[in-house]
Structure 1
């Protein structure tokens, strides 16, 4: 009630409050009704948009399984006893049935020293060298018949002096070297023993241990002395495939059957285990069924949100809504479109994979048609859904692409093959097979920009140049400085030219090999720089591409991996983006923070805020209107009170006149 209006019918007796309240209510009602209706309509639309967004979001989630190209590897590998032999498969495998037998598991060699009274007992000083390779050793007769060094493994050369010449110090120094040996100290109940175990399983990863000082002789294990006890022999795993025995340094067989990886968990000689490689379609079928079901749920939601009831002559909140209608139109357009880049192929649309649109707008899925397509052309099916590059040449692999990569068929031509750096020793430079300590045993080498520390070859007379090459490679790859940088080489002996050949194991312009210091030139290790490696060079789609090692990248972002040493015309790469990326883009345009639905709901929220402002304005307006009414009715009431008072006074005066008295007589 407005301030200052205190009389409500007190003068006249009229119910001014009821009259004012009625007039105020009559003034407020149409405007309040209009605001309430607008608010209700907006709230209904916001709720409906929320339902639409939720259905769209669920549908968008169903795309994930169809955007992963790995889903379309349409093969599966199963063994009859997976707890003994398990199998995994890649897309290049071939179907078939095999009989397997797990005969032997791979294991690492373990050597144990003689006992020491204390874990901190002094063990001597000098140099201890551990090499890895195949050992011919008979534990029953303790006959050490020979050792063939593994050039792929580095050599550990450990100096023991006053800082580490205890059993514990020796253990720690070996472990800190991180050179492929695990050292531990075991107390057997009466003495402390040093246990050395190769980190790698396999017959070619056993240890040969030599020392240069008699004080360390208790740790020798070589042709001269077997002071260490072999408690576990290094051995390969043995697997029989259809009666043929094959071996592996580990319990995994990756290259035995094309595209198949087999893992041995137990050895069960004499027991046959079946392996079946067959087409697998369940994952893709399930993903596509989920996609269809999710779309149909979306379509059902849209139908409810845009329905019209002729009996009540009322429609749903989003009946005729342009944003919803446009969004669904875009989605249906993508679902019915041809995939660009697949011209000339038999699979280009969802219809080709068994998905058709029914009369009510929902999708129908024929899983049998998809299954047949997966069996005949799994890559073609993948191309309908996801980004994929399909090279026609086995020497080329699709690696990646960017948003700028256009669909199409790109010819690949390599004008320069990627190469590794190669240092070719001078012809007839291998003049000795004898390494003498301090005379011709040391050199430094730069590999791929990393300079080694001084490398020392093991002294001795090598049986042949190939054995010497294996020692050189092992020492280079075992160098801690190079190992920490991931720099590795391959060393071979060129018998035709009597020289050592040192090649970096990396490709590209960053591949380098250079001997910077050496006292071993008579071993073929003279100071010299090799020929640096080269990056692959060529064109993709007729346009020059940038090479980086073995990777060739086009200006449009298409990136390919090309096998080293290969050049010339290498076929083509067919690149397609598939429907899922395009569909995700459409859904993103609706759902993302800057999407049309977000803009729509934000606009509606602003309208709600405006209604709240209008309601506040209405309250102010009605309050002022009420104040005016009360003021006027109060004035009227006061006037009526005065009139009534005057009337009463006049009546009294008239009643007291003489005329009235005479007439009464």
Structure 2
């Protein structure tokens, strides 16, 4: 029950290896999903009881839960708020003294959340006659691609698992892809068709741009995919072929065989896939600027968390009254904790973590061999905290503490670090985001990107339809520029014609004036001649 001391708990083999100073980390989410984190310290295992842990749990959750011990020796945490709940709880025994205290996995019950107080034991299960032993109730290495979540044990009970892929759903998606592709090719083909009876061709007949688009799409469909294994690196190997008009058809039997034999290989033919030489490298994202290929990752600086450890051993208690103010960088959230002389390192850690949880700060306090340690849970220079103390009995220097961003290159190209994330910023790796979780520097491994047919088509169509730099945009701009040039030529010709008209008009007027003068002269001459002959 709750009055059980920690010294009375059997941690295995009818013995107890719990040590004074051992801590238990309380992690979870409240009813509304708000994150909770706190630490409980076993100061004296002969006098400290499980009730102290229960109290710490309730405090960490802001008294929004009730923690108790059931009649069968389990901790039960019940949400005090009715309705749908996001309540969750994990207790982690840190075993600083080298012990084996283990609370096991959290189990959802109709009464709330419960777990055994007694020492956890390994899970035992038999799969196809093979006995497996695991230290966790989540087993992800027994059946490739399948994760088993063990909820409870019932001796003598056999559970039959029937695992199958939704091949029909995959086949329908592939058929839909083929139909959509054929719609596009059919439209393009219609533009190049000439109707002899109507003596009329398609609107875009003779368009070099459309011919280029058609050629690019058909090339992607018919080409082999670099980076995939021979024999499963083209659409033809899964029953998809193209006729003389560029239209695709599916051999259902061949497609079904491929899906049955190696569905992952089929997926790689269509999508973007990757391989890595080390688990320290994780692929996160790539952009349309990223190119397929193999890239060596070189790390010059490993990412770190903001952290600081005091220089005063607080195992025997803090020397005097102290007020610690911790402010989180970026969020400006602040935790102010008042400590009294004599409080042990466990009390201090519990008080700080309780306040961090209350303020929803991503900072944790730890007992580092009797010394106070503060650490931010996230990596990188964007995360950190400042510490200010009234007397400094902890040995932590007042100031600002920030994490460090990872630094390095991808495939020899420049990359920008943000926490543990490295983003390519130039060349073939532009837009490629990877996560490095290792601790080594130098050439730490390589990552290979392979782009299947669907990925290549997406990138090609993006290059064609991009509203700013796409092929259609460039061609449209070119046509518009040509129209404007022709309009300018027309305007210039009209201006020349107007000037020519003005010249001709002036000449005509001059001619009319000359004719008028000649008529006047002719009339005068006629009068003079007539007068002389009288």
- What is the TM-score when the length of structure 1 is the normalising length? 0.46
Show CA shifts across 1:560-596 (max 9, x none).
1111534343321112444335434655677788876
1:286 maps onto 2:167 in alignment = no
Deviation at 1:235, TM superposition (A): 0.9
Please show how residues 333-352 of structure 1 align to structure 2 within 5 Å. Answer: 333-339=219-225, 342=227, 347-352=232-237
Give the match's secondary structure for 1:322: coil
Q: Is the 8 A contact 2:38 2:354 kept in 1?
A: no
Show CA shifts across 1:485-529 (max 9, x none).
x422251322xxx423222211112343553115572xx464445
1:571 maps onto 2:457 in alignment = no
Q: 1:242 maps to what in 2?
A: 125
CA 1:517 to 1:285, structure 2 compared with 1: closer, same or farther past 3 Å? same
Q: Is the 8 A contact 1:203 1:236 kept in 2?
A: no
d(CA) in 2 for partners of 1:563, 1:569: 14
Give the match's secondary structure for 1:474: helix
Q: 1:539 maps to what in 2?
A: 409
Q: 1:406 maps to what in 2?
A: 291
Q: Is the 8 A contact 1:388 1:575 kept in 2?
A: yes
d(CA) in 2 for partners of 1:369, 1:328: 27
d(CA) in 2 for partners of 1:301, 1:131: 63
Q: Is the 8 A contact 1:423 1:530 kept in 2?
A: no
1:477 maps onto 2:356 in alignment = yes
Specify the structure having the higher radius of gyration (Cα). 1
Q: 2:161 maps to what in 1?
A: 275
Q: Is the 8 A contact 2:309 2:396 kept in 1?
A: no
CA 1:532 to 1:406, structure 2 compared with 1: closer, same or farther past 3 Å? same
Deviation at 1:289, TM superposition (A): 1.9
Please show how residues 158-173 of structure 1 align to structure 2 within 5 Å. Answer: none
Q: 2:324 maps to what in 1?
A: 443
Give ranges in structure 2 of 5+ residues lacking alignment.
1-27, 32-36, 43-47, 67-78, 93-109, 127-131, 484-534
Show CA shifts across 1:314-372 (max 9, x none).
677439922465554443222113445x2776543322333222356432324565566
CA 1:536 to 1:152, structure 2 compared with 1: closer, same or farther past 3 Å? farther
Q: Is the 8 A contact 2:407 2:416 kept in 1?
A: yes
Q: 2:457 maps to what in 1?
A: 583
Q: 1:454 maps to what in 2?
A: 336
Deviation at 1:412, TM superposition (A): 0.8
Deviation at 1:410, TM superposition (A): 0.7
1:357 maps onto 2:239 in alignment = no
Give ranges in structure 1 of 5+ residues lacking alignment.
1-106, 111-129, 136-143, 157-177, 184-194, 206-230, 607-665
d(CA) in 1 for partners of 2:440, 2:261: 30
Q: In the alignment, which of 484, 488, 509 is matched to residue 381 of structure 2?
A: 509
Q: 1:332 maps to what in 2?
A: 218
CA 1:319 to 1:516, structure 2 compared with 1: closer, same or farther past 3 Å? closer
Give the match's secondary structure for 2:449: strand
Q: Is the 8 A contact 1:400 1:559 kept in 2?
A: yes
Higher relative contact order (CA 8 A, sep 6+): 1
Q: In the alignment, which of 23, 31, 50 is matched to residue 146 of structure 1?
A: 50
Q: Is the 8 A contact 1:408 1:574 kept in 2?
A: yes
CA 1:370 to 1:520, structure 2 compared with 1: closer, same or farther past 3 Å? farther
Please show how residues 111-190 of structure 1 align to structure 2 within 5 Å. Answer: 145-147=49-51, 149=53, 155=59, 179=62, 181=64
Give the match's secondary structure for 2:404: coil
Q: In the alignment, which of 539, 548, 551 is matched to residue 418 of structure 2?
A: 548
CA 1:444 to 1:372, structure 2 compared with 1: closer, same or farther past 3 Å? farther
CA 1:595 to 1:150, structure 2 compared with 1: closer, same or farther past 3 Å? farther
CA 1:425 to 1:591, structure 2 compared with 1: closer, same or farther past 3 Å? closer
Number of aligned residue pairs: give it.
389
d(CA) in 2 for partners of 1:320, 1:447: 61
CA 1:489 to 1:503, structure 2 compared with 1: closer, same or farther past 3 Å? same
Taking only aligned residues, the RMSD between alpha carbons, in angstroms, comes to: 5.3
